[in-house]
Amino acid sequence: MKISGAGSIYNILFTDKEVKNYRDVASAHEELNKVLYMSLLTKGVFDAERGMFCMSTAMTKEDIRFGLDTLETSLREMLPAIAEEAPELI
């Protein structure tokens, strides 16, 4: 898994490659981003379906902690799906 972006806007990409250009992004396992999106959404965290997140100065430390904890929980729950779809990431 890689994270790319600038400033407060970033993307989570399910890839083991270095992300340098749009081809690297396009080769990531997009279906896993959809699974992550639904998992986070059902737990109260909204991101873009493509794995894009945005931090804001309006967010409190508690908001950020909730988001990070929820992301960790969702990724742990996704381990079987990741192992099946993208075993190179395990």
Check residue 73 and give its pLDDT: 99
CATH number at 2-89: 3.90.1150.10
How far CA 86 is from CA of 8, 48, 51, in Å, comes to 27, 21, 16
Check residue 47 and give its pLDDT: 95
Beta strand residue intervals within the chain, DSSP E: 2-6, 9-13, 52-54
d(CA 60, CA 5) in angstroms, rounded, equals 21
pTM summary value: 0.92
Tell me the pLDDT of the chain (90 aa) as tens digits: 999 999 999 999 999 999 999 999 999 999 999 999 999 999 999 999 999 999 999 999 999 999 999 999 999 999 999 999 999 999
